[in-house]
Amino acid sequence: MMKLISKNRPFFGWDDLRSILKIWEKGSVERFERQFAEFVRAPYALAFPYARSAIWIALLAWKDVRGGREVIIPAYTCTAVPYSIIQAGLVPRFVDINLETYMPDEGVMAGMVSSDTVAIMPVHTYGNIADMDGLAAQLKDQEVLILEDSALCPKPAFNSSLHGASASIYSFDYTKHLSTIEGGMVATHNQALYEKLKKIRDTKFSKTCIHSSIRNLIHFFIRLFFFGERAYPLLDFFRSVRTLERYYDERSLEKIALPEDFQSLLSPWQGRIGLAQLAKAREIFEKRKKISEFYYHALAGFRPDVIPQASSANSLWSHYPVRITGRNSKNIIEKMRKAGVEVGLTFNYSLPELGVLRTYKDREFPNSTRAAGEMINLPNYPSLSNRQIHHVIDALKKAVVS
């Protein structure tokens, strides 16, 4: 039987290791910010230890400008989004999703805006790009901040002549296209907003946390050396040891909180690895896109209850999504694991149904609840071999029909 294929793996190599070891190079974080701003075609970018930190600081900055207390977000997305909103002293207001895109319709989101709305957060779920121009056109000149969540999709930062108050959030954790193990960035075309964000960061954020930097460095070496086909089963064994759970389970579904170091600065070595990752971004995107297109064509028409996500010219899949209707995705995942494929279950929850967020639930969200139970994410990273990719499809098809 094929050895266990991991559900995700950063595209790390010796070039990334060499970049980390260049400790004599100064100003790496600032260079990373400048080059990333160019990469996403924005004049301004600021780095943070987490994407969550970037969300938090952007909302802090804008609530002073706009006033109000609500932030409109999809009911189906990462817990980091509502947790950051609540930590900023604001309230998440949920919107149900469309089951074809796994995102809310932009008209529905815009229709929920009121005088109490601070920001609206469209999310490019799994790397499927939302209609940002359509959203901006419906908001017109309202002073609501469009905080584009591009954590799963490192696309060009949103900019529109129809709506000047916008910023884009990016993530660099180990599951994303570009990885610094942990890390985030906010990019914007709005100079006044950038200056306000920078002032808050310079005031509220402390020097790089040494403990966190060492922890992230250890995680880099683990993912460089132990995420291959031969070594991963050993790492997977250690993940089953209960005393080590806290090193792998990074997000709580039971407690609203941000990491203890969310107000520290990004490590210089993370800036250096970020630069190395940017240098091969196009290669990463092309390989991910090729794999996702193979998955789609292999599954399209297979069975009516297996719904793969079709690619578009702009799709940048971080987690390739497949919905299996009428089936509990956990059963499929268990069968595929026995066949040697670790499948992702990125959002196995609808946010308003979580106990810690239920107080913010004001209605039912049937599509989000359904997606939470039916979605799986196939391995989709550049180092997958053709043999592994074909095995993933074979394992899924057998799991569905058995």
We report the CATH number of the domain holding residue 91 as: 3.40.640.10
What percent of the chain stands above pLDDT 70? 92
Statement to judge: residues 39 and 132 lie in one domain: yes
pLDDT average, residue stretch 244-261: 68
**Domain-located, residue 349:** yes
pLDDT at 49 over 60: yes
Check residue 332 and give its pLDDT.
93
Statement to judge: residues 67 and 154 lie in one domain: yes
Residue with tokens 């499809």: 393
Residue 373 DSSP symbol: H
Statement to judge: residues 189 and 316 lie in one domain: no
pTM score, two decimals? 0.93
Statement to judge: residues 39 and 171 lie in one domain: yes
Task: Estimate the crossing angle of helix 28-39 against helix 268-279, to 10 degrees.
Answer: 30
Check residue 244 and give its pLDDT.
45
Q: Considering 149, 176, 204, which residue would you say is the last residue of a domain?
A: 204
Q: Considering 144, 174, 204, which residue would you say is the last residue of a domain?
A: 204
Nearest to 362 by CA among 110, 117, 125, 96: 96
Check residue 139 and give its pLDDT.
85
Exposure string for 77-96, b = 16+ CB within 10 A, e = fewer:
bbbbbbbbbbbbebbbbbbb
Comparison of pLDDT for 226 and 209, the residue scoring more: 209
Residue 100's CB: how many other CB atoms inside 10 A?
A: 13
**Domain-located, residue 270:** no
Check residue 22 and give its pLDDT.
92
Average pLDDT, rounded, for the chain: 89
Comparison of pLDDT for 249 and 223, the residue scoring more: 223
Query: What SS3 class is residue 358?
Result: helix
Nearest to 201 by CA among 184, 217, 213: 184
Check residue 363 and give its pLDDT.
93
151/141 Cα distance (integer angstroms): 26
Statement to judge: residues 196 and 345 lie in one domain: no
pLDDT band of residue 240 (cuts 50, 70, 90) is: low
pLDDT at 24 over 70: yes
Residue 225's CB: how many other CB atoms inside 10 A?
A: 12
Residue type (1 letter), 233: P
- How is residue 344 written in tokens? 């992702």
**Residues 278-327: pLDDT tens digits?**
999 999 999 999 999 999 999 999 999 999 988 776 778 888 999 999 88
Statement to judge: residues 156 and 62 lie in one domain: yes
**Residues 319-363: pLDDT tens digits?**
899 999 988 888 999 999 999 999 988 899 999 999 999 999 999
| Residue 319: C-alpha distances to residues 111, 128, 376 (Å) | 29, 10, 9
**Domain-located, residue 20:** yes
Statement to judge: residues 179 and 301 lie in one domain: no
375/204 Cα distance (integer angstroms): 39
State residue 149 phi and psi, 5-degree precision.
Answer: -95, 100
**Residues 173-195: pLDDT tens digits?**
988 999 999 999 999 999 999 99
Domain count, the chain: 2
Statement to judge: residues 190 and 288 lie in one domain: no
**Domain-located, residue 176:** yes
| Residue 254: C-alpha distances to residues 79, 198, 251, 274, 353 (Å) | 10, 32, 9, 32, 12
Check residue 251 and give its pLDDT.
58
Residue type (1 letter), 35: Q
**Domain-located, residue 210:** no
pLDDT average, residue stretch 160-170: 87
Statement to judge: residues 286 and 198 lie in one domain: no
**Domain-located, residue 5:** no
Q: Considering 204, 223, 238, which residue would you say is the last residue of a domain?
A: 204
Comparison of pLDDT for 165 and 389, the residue scoring more: 389
| Residue 266: C-alpha distances to residues 29, 188, 201, 262 (Å) | 7, 19, 11, 10
Statement to judge: residues 329 and 195 lie in one domain: no
β-sheet bridge partners, residue 63: none
Nearest to 147 by CA among 197, 110, 198, 186: 186
**Domain-located, residue 18:** yes
Check residue 233 and give its pLDDT.
64
**Domain-located, residue 326:** yes
Residue with tokens 């064509």: 297
- What CATH number is associated with residue 375? 3.90.1150.10
Q: Any alpha helices (H) in 125-190, and if so which ranges?
A: 132-139
Statement to judge: residues 191 and 316 lie in one domain: no
pLDDT at 41 over 50: yes
Identify the domain containing residue 168 by its residue range: 14-204
| Total count of residues recorded for the chain | 402
Statement to judge: residues 186 and 316 lie in one domain: no
Check residue 122 and give its pLDDT.
95
